Structure 1
Amino acid sequence: MYKLIAIDIDDTLINDEKEVTPTTQKALEAAVDKGVVVTLATGRAYASAQAIARQTGLNVPIITYQGALVKNLLDEKVLYERYVPVVAARRLFEFCLERNLHLQTYVDDKLYAREENQKLLDYSALNKTPYYIEPVFSKMIEQPTHKMLIIDEPDHLDEIAPQLRELLGDEVHITKSKPYFLEIMHKEGTKGHALTFLAQHFGCDMSETIAIGDSWNDHEMLECAGLGVAMGNAIDALKDLADYVTLTNNEDGVKHVIDKFVLNAG
Protein backbone atom coordinates (compact mmCIF):
# COMPACT_ATOMS: atom_id res chain seq x y z
CA MET A 1 0.00 0.00 0.00
CA TYR A 2 1.21 3.48 -0.85
CA LYS A 3 1.51 5.90 2.07
CA LEU A 4 3.08 9.03 0.56
CA ILE A 5 2.41 10.77 -2.77
CA ALA A 6 4.56 13.66 -4.02
CA ILE A 7 3.02 15.63 -6.88
CA ASP A 8 4.63 18.28 -9.07
CA ILE A 9 2.46 21.40 -9.55
CA ASP A 10 2.92 22.97 -12.99
CA ASP A 11 1.68 20.86 -15.92
CA THR A 12 1.02 18.02 -13.46
CA LEU A 13 -1.40 18.87 -10.65
CA ILE A 14 -2.77 21.96 -12.36
CA ASN A 15 -4.16 22.03 -15.89
CA ASP A 16 -3.30 24.53 -18.61
CA GLU A 17 -5.81 26.94 -17.05
CA LYS A 18 -3.61 26.84 -13.91
CA GLU A 19 -6.42 25.17 -11.93
CA VAL A 20 -6.81 22.07 -9.80
CA THR A 21 -10.01 20.56 -11.21
CA PRO A 22 -12.85 19.58 -8.84
CA THR A 23 -12.43 15.89 -9.79
CA THR A 24 -8.71 15.96 -9.00
CA GLN A 25 -9.47 17.81 -5.76
CA LYS A 26 -11.90 15.04 -4.74
CA ALA A 27 -9.28 12.39 -5.49
CA LEU A 28 -6.73 14.21 -3.30
CA GLU A 29 -9.26 14.38 -0.46
CA ALA A 30 -10.13 10.68 -0.85
CA ALA A 31 -6.44 9.74 -0.63
CA VAL A 32 -5.99 11.85 2.51
CA ASP A 33 -9.12 10.30 4.02
CA LYS A 34 -7.53 6.91 3.46
CA GLY A 35 -4.54 7.98 5.56
CA VAL A 36 -2.17 8.72 2.67
CA VAL A 37 0.15 11.72 3.01
CA VAL A 38 -0.23 13.88 -0.11
CA THR A 39 2.40 16.54 -0.66
CA LEU A 40 3.53 18.89 -3.42
CA ALA A 41 7.02 18.83 -4.92
CA THR A 42 7.81 21.89 -6.98
CA GLY A 43 10.50 24.19 -8.24
CA ARG A 44 8.33 27.10 -7.12
CA ALA A 45 9.15 29.23 -4.10
CA TYR A 46 7.40 28.31 -0.86
CA ALA A 47 5.16 31.41 -0.98
CA SER A 48 3.89 30.46 -4.43
CA ALA A 49 3.52 26.73 -3.69
CA GLN A 50 1.80 27.16 -0.35
CA ALA A 51 -0.98 29.22 -1.94
CA ILE A 52 -1.85 26.26 -4.20
CA ALA A 53 -1.43 23.74 -1.37
CA ARG A 54 -3.85 25.69 0.83
CA GLN A 55 -6.40 25.82 -2.00
CA THR A 56 -6.36 22.03 -2.13
CA GLY A 57 -6.74 21.79 1.66
CA LEU A 58 -3.41 20.00 2.10
CA ASN A 59 -1.86 20.50 5.52
CA VAL A 60 1.53 18.79 5.35
CA PRO A 61 5.16 19.66 4.71
CA ILE A 62 5.67 20.64 1.06
CA ILE A 63 8.77 20.34 -1.13
CA THR A 64 9.76 23.65 -2.74
CA TYR A 65 12.69 25.15 -4.66
CA GLN A 66 13.23 21.77 -6.40
CA GLY A 67 13.81 20.15 -3.00
CA ALA A 68 16.07 22.75 -1.38
CA LEU A 69 13.34 23.63 1.17
CA VAL A 70 10.80 21.39 2.88
CA LYS A 71 8.49 23.36 5.12
CA ASN A 72 5.31 22.68 7.11
CA LEU A 73 2.15 24.38 5.91
CA LEU A 74 0.59 24.55 9.36
CA ASP A 75 3.30 26.17 11.50
CA GLU A 76 5.77 26.99 8.67
CA LYS A 77 8.50 25.06 10.46
CA VAL A 78 11.49 24.31 8.22
CA LEU A 79 12.20 20.57 8.15
CA TYR A 80 14.90 20.40 5.49
CA GLU A 81 16.87 23.06 3.64
CA ARG A 82 19.98 23.42 1.53
CA TYR A 83 21.47 26.71 0.31
CA VAL A 84 23.44 27.35 -2.86
CA PRO A 85 27.12 27.50 -1.75
CA VAL A 86 28.26 31.14 -1.75
CA VAL A 87 31.39 30.46 -3.81
CA ALA A 88 29.25 28.86 -6.52
CA ALA A 89 26.75 31.74 -6.35
CA ARG A 90 29.55 34.28 -6.90
CA ARG A 91 30.94 32.35 -9.87
CA LEU A 92 27.46 32.06 -11.37
CA PHE A 93 26.87 35.80 -10.96
CA GLU A 94 30.16 36.68 -12.71
CA PHE A 95 29.40 34.21 -15.51
CA CYS A 96 25.98 35.77 -16.13
CA LEU A 97 27.29 39.32 -15.85
CA GLU A 98 29.99 38.72 -18.48
CA ARG A 99 27.46 37.20 -20.90
CA ASN A 100 24.57 39.56 -20.12
CA LEU A 101 22.35 36.64 -19.04
CA HIS A 102 19.21 37.18 -16.98
CA LEU A 103 19.87 35.81 -13.48
CA GLN A 104 17.43 35.94 -10.58
CA THR A 105 17.59 34.66 -7.03
CA TYR A 106 15.37 34.08 -4.01
CA VAL A 107 16.27 35.56 -0.62
CA ASP A 108 13.89 35.08 2.32
CA ASP A 109 11.34 33.67 -0.13
CA LYS A 110 11.38 36.89 -2.17
CA LEU A 111 12.35 37.05 -5.84
CA TYR A 112 15.18 39.46 -6.77
CA ALA A 113 16.64 40.52 -10.10
CA ARG A 114 19.19 43.12 -11.18
CA GLU A 115 16.84 44.88 -13.58
CA GLU A 116 13.29 44.75 -14.82
CA ASN A 117 12.90 43.09 -18.21
CA GLN A 118 10.39 41.00 -20.15
CA LYS A 119 11.85 37.73 -18.87
CA LEU A 120 11.28 38.80 -15.28
CA LEU A 121 7.79 40.14 -16.02
CA ASP A 122 6.75 36.92 -17.76
CA TYR A 123 8.15 34.75 -14.97
CA SER A 124 6.44 36.84 -12.32
CA ALA A 125 3.11 36.60 -14.15
CA LEU A 126 3.45 32.85 -14.71
CA ASN A 127 4.14 32.07 -11.05
CA LYS A 128 2.08 34.95 -9.61
CA THR A 129 5.23 35.97 -7.75
CA PRO A 130 6.02 39.59 -6.86
CA TYR A 131 9.60 40.68 -7.55
CA TYR A 132 12.13 43.17 -6.23
CA ILE A 133 14.85 45.00 -8.16
CA GLU A 134 18.33 45.29 -6.64
CA PRO A 135 20.76 47.10 -9.01
CA VAL A 136 23.71 46.23 -6.75
CA PHE A 137 22.97 42.56 -7.30
CA SER A 138 26.25 41.39 -5.77
CA LYS A 139 24.64 42.17 -2.38
CA MET A 140 21.97 39.54 -3.03
CA ILE A 141 24.57 36.96 -4.08
CA GLU A 142 26.06 37.05 -0.59
CA GLN A 143 22.69 36.21 1.01
CA PRO A 144 21.54 32.62 1.66
CA THR A 145 19.47 31.41 -1.31
CA HIS A 146 17.70 28.14 -2.02
CA LYS A 147 17.64 28.66 -5.79
CA MET A 148 19.12 30.77 -8.55
CA LEU A 149 17.62 30.82 -12.02
CA ILE A 150 18.73 31.80 -15.52
CA ILE A 151 16.03 32.54 -18.11
CA ASP A 152 16.97 32.27 -21.77
CA GLU A 153 16.29 30.44 -25.02
CA PRO A 154 16.24 26.63 -24.53
CA ASP A 155 19.10 25.98 -26.99
CA HIS A 156 21.31 28.56 -25.31
CA LEU A 157 20.61 27.09 -21.88
CA ASP A 158 21.53 23.62 -23.21
CA GLU A 159 24.78 25.13 -24.46
CA ILE A 160 25.79 26.81 -21.19
CA ALA A 161 24.61 24.09 -18.78
CA PRO A 162 27.75 21.92 -19.28
CA GLN A 163 29.95 25.02 -18.91
CA LEU A 164 28.23 25.83 -15.62
CA ARG A 165 28.59 22.27 -14.33
CA GLU A 166 32.32 22.53 -14.94
CA LEU A 167 32.56 26.05 -13.48
CA LEU A 168 30.44 25.45 -10.36
CA GLY A 169 31.57 21.91 -9.59
CA ASP A 170 29.73 19.09 -7.86
CA GLU A 171 28.50 21.19 -4.93
CA VAL A 172 25.50 22.32 -6.96
CA HIS A 173 22.57 20.70 -8.73
CA ILE A 174 21.65 22.17 -12.13
CA THR A 175 18.37 21.28 -13.81
CA LYS A 176 15.71 22.55 -16.19
CA SER A 177 12.21 22.92 -14.78
CA LYS A 178 10.88 24.28 -18.08
CA PRO A 179 12.65 24.73 -21.44
CA TYR A 180 13.43 28.41 -20.70
CA PHE A 181 14.44 27.99 -17.03
CA LEU A 182 17.86 26.74 -15.90
CA GLU A 183 17.86 26.36 -12.13
CA ILE A 184 20.80 26.07 -9.76
CA MET A 185 20.48 24.62 -6.24
CA HIS A 186 22.66 22.90 -3.65
CA LYS A 187 23.64 19.38 -4.76
CA GLU A 188 21.18 17.96 -2.20
CA GLY A 189 18.43 20.37 -3.29
CA THR A 190 16.62 17.87 -5.50
CA LYS A 191 13.09 16.52 -5.34
CA GLY A 192 14.62 13.07 -4.87
CA HIS A 193 16.56 14.11 -1.75
CA ALA A 194 13.48 15.87 -0.37
CA LEU A 195 11.16 12.91 -1.03
CA THR A 196 13.62 10.56 0.66
CA PHE A 197 13.73 12.90 3.65
CA LEU A 198 9.92 13.08 3.87
CA ALA A 199 9.56 9.30 3.65
CA GLN A 200 11.87 8.99 6.67
CA HIS A 201 10.00 11.82 8.40
CA PHE A 202 6.69 9.96 8.05
CA GLY A 203 8.17 6.54 8.70
CA CYS A 204 7.50 5.10 5.24
CA ASP A 205 9.66 2.88 3.12
CA MET A 206 10.54 4.31 -0.30
CA SER A 207 8.62 1.40 -1.83
CA GLU A 208 5.48 2.96 -0.29
CA THR A 209 5.91 6.28 -2.12
CA ILE A 210 4.53 7.60 -5.42
CA ALA A 211 6.05 10.52 -7.35
CA ILE A 212 4.22 12.23 -10.23
CA GLY A 213 5.78 14.76 -12.61
CA ASP A 214 6.23 16.02 -16.16
CA SER A 215 9.67 17.65 -16.49
CA TRP A 216 13.30 16.61 -16.20
CA ASN A 217 13.56 18.25 -12.75
CA ASP A 218 11.18 15.49 -11.57
CA HIS A 219 13.41 12.61 -12.62
CA GLU A 220 15.24 12.21 -9.29
CA MET A 221 12.01 11.73 -7.35
CA LEU A 222 10.54 9.39 -9.99
CA GLU A 223 13.69 7.28 -9.85
CA CYS A 224 13.73 6.95 -6.07
CA ALA A 225 9.97 6.53 -5.50
CA GLY A 226 8.34 3.12 -5.25
CA LEU A 227 6.16 4.14 -8.18
CA GLY A 228 7.45 6.81 -10.55
CA VAL A 229 4.69 8.28 -12.71
CA ALA A 230 5.09 10.52 -15.75
CA MET A 231 2.20 12.62 -16.99
CA GLY A 232 0.82 12.01 -20.48
CA ASN A 233 2.15 15.47 -21.36
CA ALA A 234 5.60 14.79 -19.83
CA ILE A 235 8.82 15.05 -21.81
CA ASP A 236 9.80 11.78 -23.50
CA ALA A 237 12.92 11.32 -21.36
CA LEU A 238 10.77 11.24 -18.21
CA LYS A 239 8.25 8.84 -19.75
CA ASP A 240 11.13 6.52 -20.66
CA LEU A 241 12.26 6.14 -17.06
CA ALA A 242 8.81 6.16 -15.42
CA ASP A 243 7.17 3.01 -14.07
CA TYR A 244 3.82 4.24 -15.37
CA VAL A 245 2.54 6.94 -17.73
CA THR A 246 -0.81 8.46 -16.79
CA LEU A 247 -3.17 10.82 -18.64
CA THR A 248 -2.27 14.46 -19.29
CA ASN A 249 -2.70 17.36 -16.88
CA ASN A 250 -5.78 18.39 -18.87
CA GLU A 251 -7.30 14.92 -18.49
CA ASP A 252 -7.00 14.64 -14.67
CA GLY A 253 -3.89 12.48 -14.89
CA VAL A 254 -3.23 12.84 -11.14
CA LYS A 255 -6.78 11.66 -10.32
CA HIS A 256 -6.25 8.64 -12.59
CA VAL A 257 -3.11 7.65 -10.62
CA ILE A 258 -4.84 8.03 -7.25
CA ASP A 259 -7.86 6.05 -8.44
CA LYS A 260 -5.74 3.24 -9.89
CA PHE A 261 -3.00 2.86 -7.29
CA VAL A 262 -4.42 4.30 -4.05
CA LEU A 263 -8.19 3.96 -4.15
CA ASN A 264 -7.99 0.82 -6.31
CA ALA A 265 -10.81 2.06 -8.50
CA GLY A 266 -9.38 0.31 -11.54
Structure 2
Amino acid sequence: MYKMIAIDLDDTLLTDQLIISRGTIEAIQQAVDAGIVVTIATGRMYSSAKKIARSLDLNVPLITYQGALVKEANGEDIHYERLIDPETAHQLIEFAKYEDLHLQVYQDDTLYSSSENKLLQQYANDVKVPYVIEPDLAKLAGRGFDKMLFIDAPDYLDKLQDELRSLFGQRAHITKSRPFYLEITHPEANKGLALLHLAGRLGIDRSEIIGIGDSYNDLDLIMSAGLGVAMGNAVDELKKQADYVTYSNNEEGVRHVIEKFIFQNELTAVKSG
Protein backbone atom coordinates (compact mmCIF):
# COMPACT_ATOMS: atom_id res chain seq x y z
CA MET A 1 0.00 0.00 0.00
CA TYR A 2 2.76 2.47 0.89
CA LYS A 3 5.80 2.98 -1.33
CA MET A 4 7.55 5.93 0.30
CA ILE A 5 8.33 7.16 3.82
CA ALA A 6 9.61 10.70 4.49
CA ILE A 7 11.00 11.19 7.99
CA ASP A 8 11.99 14.35 9.85
CA LEU A 9 15.25 14.19 11.80
CA ASP A 10 15.37 16.20 15.04
CA ASP A 11 12.90 14.99 17.68
CA THR A 12 11.54 12.45 15.18
CA LEU A 13 14.11 10.00 13.83
CA LEU A 14 16.73 11.20 16.32
CA THR A 15 16.35 10.70 20.05
CA ASP A 16 16.99 13.50 22.52
CA GLN A 17 20.59 12.28 22.55
CA LEU A 18 20.75 12.85 18.76
CA ILE A 19 21.14 9.17 17.94
CA ILE A 20 19.04 6.61 16.07
CA SER A 21 18.15 3.46 17.99
CA ARG A 22 19.38 0.12 16.67
CA GLY A 23 15.80 -1.13 16.35
CA THR A 24 14.82 1.87 14.24
CA ILE A 25 17.85 1.44 11.98
CA GLU A 26 16.95 -2.20 11.42
CA ALA A 27 13.32 -1.33 10.64
CA ILE A 28 14.40 1.28 8.08
CA GLN A 29 16.82 -1.14 6.42
CA GLN A 30 14.13 -3.81 6.27
CA ALA A 31 11.76 -1.32 4.63
CA VAL A 32 14.40 -0.41 2.05
CA ASP A 33 15.06 -4.10 1.37
CA ALA A 34 11.31 -4.49 0.80
CA GLY A 35 11.45 -1.85 -1.94
CA ILE A 36 10.16 1.13 0.06
CA VAL A 37 11.71 4.52 -0.72
CA VAL A 38 12.83 5.89 2.65
CA THR A 39 14.04 9.47 2.68
CA ILE A 40 14.82 12.29 5.09
CA ALA A 41 12.79 15.51 5.21
CA THR A 42 14.60 18.02 7.40
CA GLY A 43 15.35 21.66 7.99
CA ARG A 44 19.00 20.75 8.35
CA MET A 45 21.72 21.43 5.80
CA TYR A 46 22.22 18.93 3.01
CA SER A 47 25.69 17.99 4.33
CA SER A 48 24.26 17.21 7.77
CA ALA A 49 21.40 15.14 6.37
CA LYS A 50 23.77 13.33 4.02
CA LYS A 51 25.87 12.04 6.93
CA ILE A 52 22.80 10.52 8.54
CA ALA A 53 21.57 9.10 5.23
CA ARG A 54 24.90 7.38 4.71
CA SER A 55 24.75 5.87 8.20
CA LEU A 56 21.40 4.35 7.19
CA ASP A 57 22.60 3.29 3.71
CA LEU A 58 19.97 5.49 2.06
CA ASN A 59 20.76 6.18 -1.59
CA VAL A 60 17.84 8.43 -2.49
CA PRO A 61 17.18 12.17 -2.94
CA LEU A 62 17.03 13.99 0.42
CA ILE A 63 14.65 16.82 1.32
CA THR A 64 16.72 19.46 3.12
CA TYR A 65 16.56 23.12 4.19
CA GLN A 66 12.82 22.75 4.94
CA GLY A 67 12.27 21.69 1.33
CA ALA A 68 14.38 24.36 -0.35
CA LEU A 69 16.79 21.72 -1.69
CA VAL A 70 16.14 18.16 -2.83
CA LYS A 71 19.40 16.50 -3.79
CA GLU A 72 20.69 12.98 -4.30
CA ALA A 73 22.33 11.48 -1.21
CA ASN A 74 25.16 9.95 -3.23
CA GLY A 75 25.53 12.36 -6.11
CA GLU A 76 25.36 15.94 -7.33
CA ASP A 77 21.96 15.86 -9.03
CA ILE A 78 19.58 18.53 -7.70
CA HIS A 79 15.90 17.71 -8.19
CA TYR A 80 14.36 20.82 -6.63
CA GLU A 81 15.73 24.12 -5.35
CA ARG A 82 14.08 27.35 -4.26
CA LEU A 83 16.21 30.23 -2.96
CA ILE A 84 15.18 33.26 -0.90
CA ASP A 85 15.28 36.20 -3.30
CA PRO A 86 18.04 38.83 -2.84
CA GLU A 87 15.69 41.66 -1.85
CA THR A 88 14.04 39.66 0.91
CA ALA A 89 17.46 38.39 2.04
CA HIS A 90 18.84 41.94 2.29
CA GLN A 91 15.82 43.13 4.26
CA LEU A 92 16.06 40.26 6.75
CA ILE A 93 19.77 40.92 7.28
CA GLU A 94 19.09 44.59 7.97
CA PHE A 95 16.24 43.65 10.30
CA ALA A 96 18.54 41.35 12.27
CA LYS A 97 21.16 44.10 12.55
CA TYR A 98 18.66 46.67 13.74
CA GLU A 99 17.14 44.32 16.33
CA ASP A 100 20.54 42.86 17.31
CA LEU A 101 19.40 39.29 16.63
CA HIS A 102 21.43 36.19 15.94
CA LEU A 103 20.94 35.25 12.28
CA GLN A 104 22.48 32.37 10.32
CA VAL A 105 22.32 32.05 6.54
CA TYR A 106 22.94 29.10 4.25
CA GLN A 107 24.40 29.27 0.76
CA ASP A 108 26.06 26.54 -1.34
CA ASP A 109 25.67 24.22 1.65
CA THR A 110 27.80 26.49 3.83
CA LEU A 111 26.64 27.97 7.12
CA TYR A 112 27.49 31.67 7.59
CA SER A 113 27.09 34.02 10.53
CA SER A 114 28.25 37.60 11.05
CA SER A 115 29.83 36.84 14.43
CA GLU A 116 30.84 33.90 16.57
CA ASN A 117 28.80 33.28 19.70
CA LYS A 118 27.46 30.49 21.90
CA LEU A 119 24.27 30.11 19.86
CA LEU A 120 26.23 29.47 16.68
CA GLN A 121 28.70 27.17 18.41
CA GLN A 122 25.97 25.09 20.04
CA TYR A 123 24.05 24.75 16.78
CA ALA A 124 27.15 23.68 14.82
CA ASN A 125 28.05 21.18 17.53
CA ASP A 126 24.54 19.67 17.56
CA VAL A 127 24.30 19.15 13.80
CA LYS A 128 28.02 18.42 13.32
CA VAL A 129 28.74 21.02 10.61
CA PRO A 130 31.43 23.70 10.25
CA TYR A 131 30.65 27.40 9.83
CA VAL A 132 32.18 30.51 8.30
CA ILE A 133 32.20 33.97 9.88
CA GLU A 134 31.29 36.71 7.40
CA PRO A 135 30.88 40.09 9.15
CA ASP A 136 28.96 41.50 6.19
CA LEU A 137 26.26 38.96 5.28
CA ALA A 138 24.85 41.43 2.75
CA LYS A 139 27.78 40.53 0.48
CA LEU A 140 26.25 37.09 0.07
CA ALA A 141 22.60 38.09 -0.30
CA GLY A 142 22.76 38.82 -4.02
CA ARG A 143 22.93 35.12 -4.84
CA GLY A 144 20.03 34.20 -2.56
CA PHE A 145 19.94 31.77 0.35
CA ASP A 146 18.54 28.27 0.83
CA LYS A 147 17.54 29.25 4.35
CA MET A 148 17.88 31.94 6.99
CA LEU A 149 17.62 31.05 10.67
CA PHE A 150 16.97 33.12 13.80
CA ILE A 151 17.86 31.55 17.15
CA ASP A 152 16.37 33.06 20.31
CA ALA A 153 14.02 32.44 23.23
CA PRO A 154 10.81 30.58 22.26
CA ASP A 155 8.39 33.28 23.45
CA TYR A 156 10.27 35.99 21.60
CA LEU A 157 10.37 33.92 18.41
CA ASP A 158 6.59 33.48 18.57
CA LYS A 159 6.22 37.27 18.42
CA LEU A 160 8.94 37.59 15.80
CA GLN A 161 7.22 35.01 13.61
CA ASP A 162 4.02 37.05 13.57
CA GLU A 163 5.94 40.25 12.88
CA LEU A 164 7.93 38.80 9.99
CA ARG A 165 4.85 37.22 8.45
CA SER A 166 3.14 40.60 8.44
CA LEU A 167 6.21 42.28 6.94
CA PHE A 168 6.99 39.76 4.23
CA GLY A 169 3.60 38.24 3.49
CA GLN A 170 3.80 35.82 0.56
CA ARG A 171 7.48 36.55 -0.15
CA ALA A 172 8.74 34.03 2.41
CA HIS A 173 7.79 30.84 4.20
CA ILE A 174 8.29 31.41 7.94
CA THR A 175 7.96 28.64 10.50
CA LYS A 176 9.40 27.31 13.75
CA SER A 177 11.25 24.01 13.50
CA ARG A 178 12.11 23.85 17.19
CA PRO A 179 11.02 26.14 20.05
CA PHE A 180 14.17 28.26 19.69
CA TYR A 181 14.58 28.11 15.86
CA LEU A 182 12.67 30.40 13.49
CA GLU A 183 13.36 29.48 9.87
CA ILE A 184 12.80 31.51 6.71
CA THR A 185 12.76 29.99 3.23
CA HIS A 186 11.37 30.71 -0.23
CA PRO A 187 7.53 30.61 -0.27
CA GLU A 188 7.66 27.42 -2.35
CA ALA A 189 10.23 25.82 -0.03
CA ASN A 190 8.39 23.63 2.44
CA LYS A 191 8.58 19.93 3.12
CA GLY A 192 5.17 19.21 1.62
CA LEU A 193 5.83 20.75 -1.79
CA ALA A 194 9.27 19.18 -1.95
CA LEU A 195 7.84 15.79 -0.99
CA LEU A 196 5.19 15.88 -3.71
CA HIS A 197 7.75 17.02 -6.29
CA LEU A 198 10.04 14.13 -5.41
CA ALA A 199 7.22 11.60 -5.32
CA GLY A 200 6.09 12.75 -8.75
CA ARG A 201 9.55 12.19 -10.18
CA LEU A 202 9.55 8.69 -8.72
CA GLY A 203 6.07 7.87 -9.97
CA ILE A 204 4.65 7.57 -6.48
CA ASP A 205 1.13 8.79 -5.72
CA ARG A 206 0.37 10.96 -2.70
CA SER A 207 -1.78 8.15 -1.25
CA GLU A 208 1.29 5.89 -1.21
CA ILE A 209 3.37 8.19 1.04
CA ILE A 210 3.88 8.19 4.82
CA GLY A 211 5.14 11.48 6.30
CA ILE A 212 6.44 11.54 9.89
CA GLY A 213 7.28 14.65 11.94
CA ASP A 214 7.01 16.44 15.25
CA SER A 215 6.97 20.23 14.86
CA TYR A 216 5.29 23.15 13.12
CA ASN A 217 7.54 22.90 10.07
CA ASP A 218 6.29 19.33 9.56
CA LEU A 219 2.68 20.36 9.05
CA ASP A 220 3.06 20.61 5.26
CA LEU A 221 4.83 17.24 5.30
CA ILE A 222 2.10 15.31 7.06
CA MET A 223 -0.71 17.13 5.21
CA SER A 224 0.85 16.26 1.84
CA ALA A 225 1.37 12.58 2.67
CA GLY A 226 -1.33 9.96 2.27
CA LEU A 227 -0.69 9.00 5.89
CA GLY A 228 0.44 11.88 8.07
CA VAL A 229 2.04 10.74 11.34
CA ALA A 230 2.83 12.87 14.38
CA MET A 231 5.33 11.72 16.98
CA GLY A 232 4.16 11.20 20.53
CA ASN A 233 6.31 14.19 21.50
CA ALA A 234 4.93 16.37 18.67
CA VAL A 235 3.36 19.78 19.22
CA ASP A 236 -0.39 19.69 19.72
CA GLU A 237 -1.09 21.51 16.45
CA LEU A 238 0.57 18.72 14.50
CA LYS A 239 -1.17 15.96 16.44
CA LYS A 240 -4.54 17.53 15.65
CA GLN A 241 -3.84 17.37 11.91
CA ALA A 242 -2.21 13.94 11.86
CA ASP A 243 -3.89 10.74 10.70
CA TYR A 244 -2.00 8.81 13.33
CA VAL A 245 0.03 9.58 16.47
CA THR A 246 2.91 7.20 17.17
CA TYR A 247 5.26 6.83 20.14
CA SER A 248 7.81 9.51 20.99
CA ASN A 249 11.27 9.89 19.46
CA ASN A 250 12.73 8.27 22.58
CA GLU A 251 10.37 5.28 22.28
CA GLU A 252 11.15 4.25 18.69
CA GLY A 253 8.09 5.94 17.26
CA VAL A 254 9.43 5.71 13.70
CA ARG A 255 10.11 1.99 14.09
CA HIS A 256 6.54 1.48 15.30
CA VAL A 257 5.14 3.22 12.19
CA ILE A 258 7.21 1.08 9.83
CA GLU A 259 6.24 -2.14 11.57
CA LYS A 260 2.57 -1.21 11.78
CA PHE A 261 1.92 0.32 8.35
CA ILE A 262 4.48 -1.46 6.17
CA PHE A 263 5.00 -4.97 7.49
CA GLN A 264 1.63 -5.58 9.19
CA ASN A 265 -0.08 -4.33 6.04
CA GLU A 266 2.01 -6.74 3.95
CA LEU A 267 1.16 -9.60 6.30
CA THR A 268 -2.55 -8.75 6.09
CA ALA A 269 -2.36 -8.66 2.29
CA VAL A 270 -0.68 -12.08 2.20
CA LYS A 271 -3.32 -13.56 4.47
CA SER A 272 -6.11 -12.02 2.39
CA GLY A 273 -4.53 -13.41 -0.78
TM-score using structure 1 length: 0.97
- Secondary structure of 2:200's counterpart equals helix
Q: Which one-letter code corresponds to 1:223 in the other structure?
A: M
Structure 2 partner of 1:83: 83
Structure 1 partner of 2:28: 28
Structure 2 partner of 1:118: 118
User: How many angstroms apart in 2 are the aligned matches of 1:208 and 1:134?
Assistant: 44
Structure 1 partner of 2:92: 92
Alignment of 1:242-253 (within 5 A): 242-253=242-253
Structure 1 partner of 2:232: 232
Q: Is the 8 A contact 1:91 1:167 kept in 2?
A: no
- Secondary structure of 2:249's counterpart equals coil
Q: Which runs of 5+ in 1 are unaligned?
A: none
User: How many angstroms apart in 2 are the aligned matches of 1:254 and 1:87?
Assistant: 40
Alignment of 1:41-56 (within 5 A): 41-56=41-56
Deviation at 1:117, TM superposition (A): 1.0
Deviation at 1:158, TM superposition (A): 0.9
Structure 2 partner of 1:4: 4
User: How many angstroms apart in 2 are the aligned matches of 1:98 and 1:240?
Assistant: 37
Deviation at 1:89, TM superposition (A): 0.7
Structure 1 partner of 2:152: 152
Deviation at 1:141, TM superposition (A): 2.1
Larger mean CA deviation between 66-75 and 12-21 belongs to 12-21
User: How many angstroms apart in 1 are the aligned matches of 2:188 and 2:137?
Assistant: 25
Deviation at 1:87, TM superposition (A): 1.0
Deviation at 1:73, TM superposition (A): 1.1
User: How many angstroms apart in 2 are the aligned matches of 1:12 and 1:140?
Assistant: 32
* Deviations 1:13-58, CA, capped at 9 Å, x for gaps: 1112211111111111111111110000000000000000100111
Deviation at 1:143, TM superposition (A): 2.8
User: How many angstroms apart in 2 are the aligned matches of 1:167 and 1:91?
Assistant: 10
Q: Which one-letter code corresponds to 1:232 in the other structure?
A: G
Structure 1 partner of 2:216: 216
User: How many angstroms apart in 1 are the aligned matches of 2:76 and 2:260?
Assistant: 32
Alignment of 1:42-191 (within 5 A): 42-191=42-191
Question: Structure 1: which 4+ aligned runs deviate by more than 3 Å?
Answer: none
Q: Is the 8 A contact 1:91 1:168 kept in 2?
A: no
User: How many angstroms apart in 2 are the aligned matches of 1:128 and 1:140?
Assistant: 23
Q: Is the 8 A contact 1:104 1:148 kept in 2?
A: yes
Q: Is the 8 A contact 2:89 2:144 kept in 1?
A: no
Q: Which one-letter code corresponds to 1:217 in the other structure?
A: N
Q: Which one-letter code corresponds to 1:84 in the other structure?
A: I
The answer to whether 1:241 aligns with 2:266 is: no
Sequence identity, in percent?
Answer: 53
The answer to whether 1:202 aligns with 2:217 is: no
Q: Which runs of 5+ in 2 are unaligned?
A: 269-273
Q: Which one-letter code corresponds to 2:262 in the other structure?
A: V
Q: Which one-letter code corresponds to 2:158 in the other structure?
A: D
Deviation at 1:169, TM superposition (A): 2.5
User: How many angstroms apart in 1 are the aligned matches of 2:155 and 2:251?
Assistant: 30
* Deviations 1:77-109, CA, capped at 9 Å, x for gaps: 101000001111111111111110111101110
User: How many angstroms apart in 1 are the aligned matches of 2:194 and 2:212?
Assistant: 14
Deviation at 1:142, TM superposition (A): 2.2
Q: Which one-letter code corresponds to 2:215 in the other structure?
A: S
